[in-house]
Structure 1
Amino acid sequence: MDRAPAKRPDHRGAAVGCRAPPGQCGNADPLFAAGSQVTAAAALVDKAIAALGAGDLDAAEAACQQALALDAQQADALHIAGHIAGRRGQREQALALVEQAIALVPNHPQYHYNMAVSLGEMGRENEAALHYQACLRQRPHHGDALWNYGEMLRMAEHFERAAELFLRFEAGGGNYPALHHRLAVCMGALGRDAEAAARFARELANPGHDPLTRWEHALHLLSRERFAEGFAQYRHRFACGGRNSVFCHDFGLPSWQGRFDVASGGSGRTLLVHGEQGLGDEMMFASVLPELLADAQAAGARVVLAVKPPLVRLFAASFPQATVCPHKVGVAVADLAGLRRIDWQVAIGDLPHFYRKTEADFASAARPYLRADPARTGWYARQLALQEPPGAPAPRLRVGIMWGSNPAAHNAKFMRWTQQRSIPVHMFERLVHRVPEVRFVSLQNHERGAEAALAPGLDILDFSALQTDFAETAALIGALDLVISVDTSVSHLAGGLGKPCWVPLMKRPDWRHGLVRDHSLWYSGTRYFRQSVQHQWDDVLDRIDTALAELLAVAPVRVPLLPAETADGSAAMRPDRPELAQALALLGARDLPAARQWFDRALAREPDSPAVQWEAAMEALTAGDWARGWDLHEARL
Structure 2
Amino acid sequence: MNYNSQELANKDFEIPEHFSKAIHEYRVGNLEKVREILELILLKNPHYIEALKLKAMLAHRTNNLQEAIVEYKKVISITSNDAICYTGLGNIYQQQANFDEAISYYQKALLLANNCNIYFGLATCFTAQKNLDEAINYLTKGLKIEPDNPKLRCERGINLLKKGDYENGLPDFEYRLKLPDIINYHFLKDTMWDGSDLNGKEIVLHIGSRLSRAIQLIRYAPLVAQRGGNVIFACAKPLLRLFSNVSGITQLVDREITSANFEVNASLLSLPYLFGTTVSTIPVNVPYIFPCKPEEWTAWNIQSLLQAASDTRLKIGIVWKTGEYERSGSLCEKDCPLSYFINLLSIPYISLYSLQVGKLSSEIHEFKHESRLYDLTPQIKDFADTAALISQLDLVISVDTAVAHLAGAMGSPIWTLLAFDADWRWLQEREDSPWYPTMRLFRQRQYGDWESVFQQVIPALKQHLASYRG
Class of the TM-score when normalised by the shorter of the 2 chains: 0.7 to 0.9
Aligned to 2:259, which of 321, 335, 355?
335
- CA drift at 1:188: 4.0
Q: 2:316 aligned with 1:370, yes or no?
A: no
For 1:218, what is the secondary structure of its paired residue?
Answer: helix
- CA drift at 1:336: 2.3
Distance change (3 Å), C-alpha of 1:466 and 1:94: same
Distance change (3 Å), C-alpha of 1:133 and 1:513: farther
Distance change (3 Å), C-alpha of 1:478 and 1:138: farther
For 1:206 and 1:231, locate their aligned partners in 2 and report how far apart those are by CA, in whole Å. Answer: 21
Aligned to 1:306, which of 234, 247, 267?
234
For 1:99 and 1:152, locate their aligned partners in 2 and report how far apart those are by CA, in whole Å. Answer: 27
- Please identify, of 126-135 and 368-377, the stretch whose mean Cα deviation from structure 2 is larger: 126-135
Aligned to 1:182, which of 111, 116, 121?
121
For 2:105 and 2:353, locate their aligned partners in 1 and report how far apart those are by CA, in whole Å. Answer: 46
- CA drift at 1:216: 0.9
For 1:493, what is the secondary structure of its paired residue?
Answer: helix
Q: Match of 1:384, as an amino acid? A: L
For 1:256, what is the secondary structure of its paired residue?
Answer: coil
Q: Match of 1:308, as an amino acid? A: A
Q: 2:317 aligned with 1:317, yes or no?
A: no
Q: Root-mean-square deviation (CA), in Å? A: 3.5
- CA drift at 1:434: 2.1
- CA drift at 1:399: 0.6
Residues 524-563 of structure 1, C-alpha deviations (whole Å, 9 max, x = no match): 1111111112112112122211111111101234xxxxxx
For 2:113, what is the secondary structure of its paired residue?
Answer: coil
For 2:219 and 2:203, locate their aligned partners in 1 and report how far apart those are by CA, in whole Å. Answer: 17
For 2:381, what is the secondary structure of its paired residue?
Answer: coil
For 2:66 and 2:165, locate their aligned partners in 1 and report how far apart those are by CA, in whole Å. Answer: 37
Distance change (3 Å), C-alpha of 1:122 and 1:370: same
State the match for 1:441 in structure 2. 353
Where do 1:217-296 residues align within 5 Å? 217-242=156-181, 246-247=183-184, 249-251=186-188, 254-260=191-197, 266=199, 268-293=200-225, 295-296=226-227
- CA drift at 1:99: 12
Aligned to 2:391, which of 474, 478, 492?
478
Aligned to 2:15, which of 49, 57, 60?
49
Q: 2:470 aligned with 1:554, yes or no?
A: no
For 2:36 and 2:455, locate their aligned partners in 1 and report how far apart those are by CA, in whole Å. Answer: 46
Q: TM-score, normalization: structure 2?
A: 0.85
For 2:232, what is the secondary structure of its paired residue?
Answer: strand
For 1:499, what is the secondary structure of its paired residue?
Answer: coil
For 1:95 and 1:432, locate their aligned partners in 2 and report how far apart those are by CA, in whole Å. Answer: 57
Structure label with greater radius of gyration: 1
Q: Match of 1:256, as an amino acid? A: W
Structure 1: tracts of 5 or more residues without a match: 1-41, 58-81, 558-637
Where do 1:338-349 residues align within 5 Å? 342-349=262-269
- CA drift at 1:248: 5.2
- CA drift at 1:428: 2.1
Residues 310-337 of structure 1, C-alpha deviations (whole Å, 9 max, x = no match): 1111111233x42232343xx53x3325
Name the structure, 1 or 2, with higher relative contact order (CA <8 Å, separation 6+). Answer: 2
For 1:488 and 1:199, locate their aligned partners in 2 and report how far apart those are by CA, in whole Å. Answer: 30
Residues 555-593 of structure 1, C-alpha deviations (whole Å, 9 max, x = no match): 234xxxxxxxxxxxxxxxxxxxxxxxxxxxxxxxxxxxx
Aligned to 2:35, which of 88, 91, 94?
94
State the match for 2:3 in structure 1. none
Task: Assess if the C-alpha contact under 8 Å between 2:186 and 2:259 holds in 1.
Answer: no
For 2:280 and 2:59, locate their aligned partners in 1 and report how far apart those are by CA, in whole Å. Answer: 50
Task: Assess if the C-alpha contact under 8 Å between 1:109 and 1:134 holds in 2.
Answer: no
For 2:57 and 2:96, locate their aligned partners in 1 and report how far apart those are by CA, in whole Å. Answer: 16
State the match for 1:30 in structure 2. none
Sequence identity, in percent?
23
State the match for 1:616 in structure 2. none
For 1:357, what is the secondary structure of its paired residue?
Answer: coil
- CA drift at 1:505: 0.8
Structure 2: tracts of 5 or more residues without a match: 1-8
For 1:444 and 1:384, locate their aligned partners in 2 and report how far apart those are by CA, in whole Å. Answer: 15
State the match for 1:4 in structure 2. none
- CA drift at 1:302: 2.6
Distance change (3 Å), C-alpha of 1:374 and 1:218: same
For 1:205, what is the secondary structure of its paired residue?
Answer: helix
Distance change (3 Å), C-alpha of 1:393 and 1:305: same
For 2:189 and 2:445, locate their aligned partners in 1 and report how far apart those are by CA, in whole Å. Answer: 48
Q: How many pairs align? A: 457
For 2:14, what is the secondary structure of its paired residue?
Answer: helix
Task: Assess if the C-alpha contact under 8 Å between 1:372 and 1:474 holds in 2.
Answer: yes
For 1:306 and 1:148, locate their aligned partners in 2 and report how far apart those are by CA, in whole Å. Answer: 40
For 1:469 and 1:115, locate their aligned partners in 2 and report how far apart those are by CA, in whole Å. Answer: 47
- CA drift at 1:239: 0.7
